[in-house]
Structure 1
């Protein structure tokens, strides 16, 4: 067992939505206000889209 797997702290990785899904990804969460261009929902394979966690459209402008 690795030191990381012994820890009770949550583990997460940051990846680009354009990267292909991997079998060891776990739950994939998209945190972006706009859906990424050229990526279908099937290809993105995200379980949650947390657009409300991102800056507002006005702030982005």
Structure 2
């Protein structure tokens, strides 16, 4: 009996989710815009400072692997 109740509760939750009545569902175009803008910011920072970033990461890895 408990398994049937659990199944029915899960089924009800899934049907509400699929109907789209969930106010927490979010705005997909908004999230796409945020993702694209974040990628653009990363590229805008990475392109002019690429050599400095690579050098800093290499120095940090060298100091960790060689012990100081």
Specify which structure has the higher proportion of helix: 2
After TM superposition, the score normalised by the length of structure 2 is: 0.22
After TM superposition, the score normalised by the length of structure 1 is: 0.23
Specify which structure has the higher proportion of strand: 1
